């Protein structure tokens, strides 16, 4: 189970047709958020399967995988860290994986790479701690993917019924200019509403008129039609 055999397994499964679809789907054209990314054409299921098989890959090989130019190789590297974190039995073991993930977070440079892995490691590790300063530092970052990490990581907090960090970061993102941040924030607000509708409604009553439309629409997606209309009218006013 070495890096050479892992890359061979990846290339056996990749298809040119799927790679071409991914190039368009993940916006890799000039000036787009995924500009220059490269794809080998694997399904998410295939990537998870390979990551599970190679979860004991040594750290040196894992670093090379996370530094790859190929999107799927980075995803597999990040998934290996997720599986290691889930298998960790002690806080020290979890911290080791968390620290490694943070040190190599530049590998998560598209929305799927962030969304699939950040809540499971960064979110889970920080959800049990009062000090979540790292998430607020990421929220202030000029790096789009660090800002997305900041809000997506709070999914772990939401699942535990802890909404404060999500709402505070969401408030900071009301003036963010990127659609991918609007979508992610709306998603986390919607997840908050699934756990506690009153908390979400209270947030919307205060901020709906200021919220970017994409963020608002995502946040109220599960509301009854008349309630959605009410908040959308607040936005128009």
Provide the H-helix boundaries in the chain.
3-13, 16-25, 44-53, 59-66, 71-87, 91-103, 111-118, 124-127, 133-139, 144-152, 155-159, 164-172, 179-195, 197-207, 213-219, 225-236
Question: Has residue 234 been placed in a domain?
Answer: yes
**CA quadruple 195, 196, 202, 205: dihedral, nearest 10:** 60
Q: What is the reported pTM? A: 0.94
My answer on whether 216 and 155 are in the same domain is yes
Question: Has residue 108 been placed in a domain?
Answer: no
My answer on whether 160 and 78 are in the same domain is no
My answer on whether 133 and 214 are in the same domain is yes
Residues 6+ apart with CB under 8 A from 181: 144, 147, 148, 151, 173
pLDDT of residue 129: 84
Read off the CATH number of the domain in which 227 is found.
1.25.10.90
My answer on whether 43 and 137 are in the same domain is no
Residue pLDDT, tens place only, 166-205: 999 999 999 999 999 999 999 999 999 999 999 999 999 9
Residue pLDDT, tens place only, 38-96: 999 999 999 999 999 999 999 999 999 999 999 999 999 999 999 999 999 999 999 99
Question: Has residue 194 been placed in a domain?
Answer: yes
Total structural domains within the chain? 2
- State which of 39, 68, 93 marks the end of a domain: 93
My answer on whether 163 and 219 are in the same domain is yes
My answer on whether 71 and 144 are in the same domain is no
Residue pLDDT, tens place only, 139-166: 999 999 999 999 999 999 999 999 999 9
My answer on whether 88 and 155 are in the same domain is no
My answer on whether 8 and 78 are in the same domain is yes
Res. 237: pLDDT tops 70: no
My answer on whether 81 and 179 are in the same domain is no
Question: Has residue 79 been placed in a domain?
Answer: yes
My answer on whether 28 and 82 are in the same domain is yes
Give which of 20, 127, 116 is closest to 74, Cα–Cα.
116
My answer on whether 132 and 203 are in the same domain is yes
Question: Has residue 120 been placed in a domain?
Answer: no
Question: Has residue 110 been placed in a domain?
Answer: no
Question: Domain range holding 149?
Answer: 128-237
My answer on whether 145 and 233 are in the same domain is yes
């Amino acid at each position: 189970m070495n890096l050479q055999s892992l890359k061979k397994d990846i290339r056996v499964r990749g298809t040119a047709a799927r790679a071409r679809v991914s190039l368009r789907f993940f916006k890799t054209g000039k000036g787009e958020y995924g500009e220059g990314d490269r794809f080998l054409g694997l399904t998410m299921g295939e990537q998870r399967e390979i990551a599970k098989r190679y979860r004991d890959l040594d750290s040196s090989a894992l670093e090379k995988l996370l530094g790859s130019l190929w999107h799927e190789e980075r995803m597999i590297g990040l998934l290996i860290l997720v599986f290691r974190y889930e298998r960790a039995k002690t806080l020290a073991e979890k911290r080791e994986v968390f620290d490694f993930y943070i040190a190599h977070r530049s590998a998560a440079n598209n929305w799927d790479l962030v969304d699939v892995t950040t809540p499971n490691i960064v979110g889970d590790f920080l959800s049990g701690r009062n000090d979540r300063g790292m998430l607020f530092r990421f929220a202030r970052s000029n790096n789009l993917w660090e800002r997305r990490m900041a809000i997506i990581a709070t999914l772990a907090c939401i699942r535990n019924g802890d909404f404060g960090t999500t709402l505070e970061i969401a408030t900071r993102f009301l003036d963010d200019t990127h659609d991918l941040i609007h979508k992610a924030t709306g998603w986390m607000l919607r997840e908050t509403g699934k756990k506690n509708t009153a908390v979400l409604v209270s947030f919307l009553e205060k901020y709906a008129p200021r919220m970017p439309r994409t963020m608002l629409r995502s946040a109220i997606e599960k509301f009854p039609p008349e309630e959605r209309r009410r908040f959308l009218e607040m936005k128009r006013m």
